[in-house]
């Protein structure tokens, strides 16, 4: 290792580019997150549908995404699809790939949240005269949101980390810039440590938020016994 001065010199050279990359990382993450949050609801609803074929199809998709590596998915979208005439930018492919994976993952979180609420809650609501949909809206969903929120934040952290895979298909985000500058300056370790620090600066506050949410919201929920 070298002296602090030399290190600070490196930092001042490299940091701006790294931060620019971090901006792209945030873009990719945020775009995917937005898609996942919304589409995840749709998939969760389909997963719980009364129509069996739809249920199975959705379950199959979710299961597929459990097993399929995200990197392979990205490569498939970016390098494989052009053979069908579908061309997209690396950025688009990344967001699409992350979303395809993320929607499946998040829909399971949503489903778990809904199913974790004690059935007695639904029964009590219906005993008061509410219909299923009303009971869902006013009793079950509000409680499941409290359960889901911390998991959602953790999911966002996961997306943030997975966005680094986009570097493998050439998206100029944080990891890509880090690798490039690390090689260019022959100081891979120092640059990577900076990269790691920036990721931590983004993920740790989210992790703390998730913890806080878990503690505060975990209380006023009636979860099924075990």
Partner 1 sequence: MERFITSAMEWLPYLARGLVTSIELAGVAMVLSLSLGLVLAAAIQIGGRQLRVTARTYIEITRGIPGLAMLYIVYFGLPSIGIVIQDAFWAAGLALGLTGAGYMAEIYRVGLESPDRGQHEASLAIGMTRISSLRYVILPQAIPVIMPAATNMALDMLKDTTLATVISTPELMQHALLLITFSYRPLEIYILTALLYLAAGLPLSALTHWLARRARRGRLMADFGPGRPGLRQS
Cβ(153)–Cβ(209) below 8 Å: yes
Q: Which residue, 119 or 132, is less far from partner 1 as judged by CB?
A: 119
CA separation for the pair 194, 188 (Å, rounded): 10
Q: Which residue, 60 or 134, is less far from partner 1 as judged by CB?
A: 60
Q: Which residue, 20 or 118, is less far from partner 1 as judged by CB?
A: 118
CA separation for the pair 80, 67 (Å, rounded): 19
Minimum distance between the CB of residue 27 and partner 1, rounded to whole angstroms? 16
Q: Which two tokens stand for residue 16?
A: 């701006």
CA separation for the pair 171, 166 (Å, rounded): 6
Q: Which residue, 84 or 133, is less far from partner 1 as judged by CB?
A: 84
Sign of CA dihedral 78, 23, 194, 36: negative
What does the binding site for partner 1 look like in residue numbers (CB under 8 A)?
1, 63-64, 66-72, 75-76, 79-84, 119-120, 157, 160-165, 167-168, 175, 178-179, 182-183, 187-190, 192-193, 195-196, 199-200, 203-204, 207, 224-226
CA separation for the pair 138, 204 (Å, rounded): 33
Beta bridge partners of 117: 223
Minimum distance between the CB of residue 17 and partner 1, rounded to whole angstroms? 16
Reduced to 3 states, what is the DSSP secondary structure of residue 199?
helix
Minimum distance between the CB of residue 197 and partner 1, rounded to whole angstroms? 9
Q: Which residue, 41 or 168, is less far from partner 1 as judged by CB?
A: 168
Minimum distance between the CB of residue 178 and partner 1, rounded to whole angstroms? 7
Sign of CA dihedral 66, 70, 71, 75: positive
CA separation for the pair 195, 176 (Å, rounded): 10
Cβ(190)–Cβ(88) below 8 Å: no
Minimum distance between the CB of residue 71 and partner 1, rounded to whole angstroms? 4
Q: Which residue, 23 or 82, is less far from partner 1 as judged by CB?
A: 82
Q: Which residue, 82 or 218, is less far from partner 1 as judged by CB?
A: 82
Minimum distance between the CB of residue 207 and partner 1, rounded to whole angstroms? 7
CA separation for the pair 190, 27 (Å, rounded): 25
Minimum distance between the CB of residue 130 and partner 1, rounded to whole angstroms? 21
């Amino acid at each position: 290792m070298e002296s602090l001065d030399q290190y600070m010199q490196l930092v001042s050279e490299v940091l701006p580019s790294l931060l620019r990359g971090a901006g792209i990382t945030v873009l990719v993450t945020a775009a995917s997150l937005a898609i996942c949050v919304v589409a995840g609801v749709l998939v969760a609803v389909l997963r719980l549908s009364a129509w069996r074929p739809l249920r199975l199809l959705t379950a199959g998709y979710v299961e597929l995404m459990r097993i399929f590596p995200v990197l392979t998915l990205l490569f498939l979208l970016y390098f494989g699809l052009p053979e069908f005439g579908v061309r997209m930018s690396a950025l688009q492919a990344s967001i699409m790939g992350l979303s395809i994976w993320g929607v499946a993952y998040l829909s399971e979180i949503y489903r778990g949240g809904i199913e974790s609420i004690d059935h007695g809650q639904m029964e009590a609501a219906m005993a008061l005269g509410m219909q299923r949909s009303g009971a869902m809206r006013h009793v079950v969903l509000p409680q499941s949101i409290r359960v889901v929120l911390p998991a959602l934040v953790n999911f966002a952290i996961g997306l943030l980390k997975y966005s680094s895979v986009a570097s493998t298909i050439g998206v100029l985000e944080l990891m890509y810039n880090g690798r490039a500058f690390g090689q260019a300056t022959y100081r891979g370790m120092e640059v990577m440590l900076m990269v790691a620090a920036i990721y931590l600066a983004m993920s740790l506050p989210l992790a703390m938020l998730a913890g806080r949410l878990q503690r505060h919201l975990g209380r006023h929920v009636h979860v099924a016994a075990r």
